[in-house]
Structure 1
């Protein structure tokens, strides 16, 4: 059974240019690459498959959790390494509990191993395991920030990982 599939999918651009018509495809756990010229609809297809763009016709089927590394990592002022890893809320919950300020909801939802999993994921992306998780994201290079987001996808691995032009913002270390 595929993790991600499209049935009879058709899509036009806002200026009514046909991108694809009656497209049916399925993706399982294998590695798959989608290659094409700029402007042919690769990112639009990805947006449709991930539910970010509603289909004009046809249907999309998704099974399990899908993780996405976008083309560009969005850095918002005040964002930290923990935010990029997607673990800031879990760390804040642990901080509240350790300070004796957490409630039953915090206790029930606490992820006690999140820091260990982050420390294990960081070196897989060429980043130090002891990276300060409160470090402002703006102090990292674009390639480091992209590798940090990718490491975040490994902290709680999805069933499927989608990389949208991953080498666009990866530095030489990240491409290795």
Structure 2
């Protein structure tokens, strides 16, 4: 913690060795901010950095799917099905880092596919018909299980 010339405070937190890719965070607090508030931020920030440091993911789910499909293409008999099942997850989670996905988010997505509705009861797009029009209907349990299995296999490779 450092007091700046204008009376505000700069609070820093670091995790790991700076020379080996350790992580840092800092925040400036207004003049008169209590020590407890600054220490609480420091503790929370340190915990966040520690969690980030533990998780080794680099890229987004979309990039991971591409890498996985390139590895598995020669070995899978049903490659197109696996590709279709994995790409279904990308509409909602493709931009996210794989390690940030929470089990309840994945279950929510599976529930939406299974019911054909979002939690507010609005219809969701679950696929396309032969004329390439969007379809909003519940998916079969088997389809949802295949999508879950495809995502699970991505995480184990």
TM-score range, shorter chain: under 0.3
Larger proportion of helix:
2
The answer to which structure, 1 or 2, has the higher relative contact order (CA under 8 A, 6+ apart) is: 1
Normalised by the length of structure 2, the TM-score is 0.27
Larger proportion of strand:
1
Normalised by the length of structure 1, the TM-score is 0.25
